[in-house]
Amino acid sequence: MHLEFNEITQYQSVKTRIKNNGYSRYGMNQDDVSGLRVQMFTLEKIAKEQSQINLEQIFQKAKLYKIPTVIVKPQTIQFVGHATYIRASSIANDDEIAHFKDDTISRWANGPRWRDEMSRKGYYLLELGGYFSQFWALNEQCGYYQINHLGTDFIKVTNRKTQIQQLWDWGWPARRGRPVTVGHERHSGNCQEIEWLTEMAAQMWSRQRESEVAKRACSNFRSINKEYAWPGNW
């Protein structure tokens, strides 16, 4: 899986500069904005083509290894829901990852990194992401994708509750965002712990002004639910 990123990254950078009116304290003049718009127009066609080709490569790998769900964001790809372990190198080898290297930023954050884990229900997550400077997808290609029942194509799932329920059924609360993603257990807790906390908060909601235990339980619930969602607390 050889993902392209040069034109996509340049396009995103120019688009952001126009949106933010430049990074200068005093913004940009009209000539600067016009020049950036010309750059964006020049980059747009190839950036969109690269992004679509990248998405198709991601789907091909997922179909090859029978991965049921793919979550794509500009700098993150999550393969979710497979019941057998898949090595990261089967998706993209070291050489295919190395070409993302950017020596202009920290050596600890100059390219995407793999993360893999298994939920307590026995399903796997394989994520390619991290803190780095390149983009491999435009917003049009980002989304939550589910394999169809024939296993021949991926369909974009836009219903948030469907996304959240599915991740929960596999053993993960959903990290909020568009689309939702699998977060980190150290930030959210596992599904059982979230169920305990939800039940505790419901029982103690009326006692927040009378009990420090109740106050903290409800505060923890609100804090986690602000960043994560699960069935009943969408």
Apex 64 CA angle, 116 and 180, nearest 5:
45
How many residues would you count in the chain?
Answer: 234
Whether residue 1 contacts residue 92, with contact meaning beta carbons closer than 8 Å, is answered with yes
DSSP 3-state of 232: coil
Q: What is the pTM of this model?
A: 0.87
pLDDT of 62 strictly over 90: yes
pLDDT of 24 strictly over 80: no
Whether residue 147 contacts residue 60, with contact meaning beta carbons closer than 8 Å, is answered with no
DSSP 3-state of 207: helix
Question: What are the helix and strand counts (H, E) for the chain?
Answer: 8, 9
Q: What pLDDT was estimated at residue 77?
A: 95
Which residues face 229 on adjacent strands? 174
Residue 45 to residue 2: CA distance in whole angstroms: 19
Q: Mean of the pLDDT values across residues 113-128?
A: 94
Q: What pLDDT was estimated at residue 40?
A: 79
Q: Which residue has the tokens 């599915």?
A: 166
